[in-house]
Structure 1
């Protein structure tokens, strides 16, 4: 890898971190919860990875906002519970594997417990390709 590419990559990474901190500060100021999920929450990010954020607010805003370097998914508390019951895999991933950046820890734990109950009740398991029913795995599918 050329020295020039390494330098560009470092500068881009530094710029991304600064932009992300500004976005996080803005979101934390008016949100109930901000949850980081995806590759950055798992510590598997690459220099090209964005920041995936599940943001829970009192009032609904635009559902998905792209604000470099972040992808922001906005929900109300009621909508998150509804999406969990619908087995929305994005919301399941965020709640179960995400990292709370700011907000109400008790609410975050309540959401996590609800997601865990749903996963257990629906016999779900996370595989390399996504969420699957353990019944399907048991019966030889997937």
Structure 2
């Protein structure tokens, strides 16, 4: 019984985090959001939806720390930077989006992957220059 209760609680937390990511994304697109909040918000959203983690998941324990610590802390920090009225408006919009189904924006997904690939190429070139 206790395990089921814990699992339900974790599911609720995960659902709330996912909704907050959509709130950040919608707030990023809002002209009233300060530029520095937009930068933090888009970085958090990009990192959360990116298939590449700072610490790979195959590393025992540490691999999941970024998913369990970095993303929630980033979300909390970004939400603190955005004015409350903007968060309230976009919370309602995010809930409507959730009810209609997942938003699908392939352009943004491809853009995130392209950025990670370019970053990996740059790091490899830099490492090659240092070690050559």
Which TM-score applies when normalising by structure 2?
0.38
Greater strand percent: which structure?
1
Greater helix percent: which structure?
2
Relative contact order higher in (CA < 8 Å, ≥ 6 apart): 2
Which TM-score applies when normalising by structure 1?
0.36
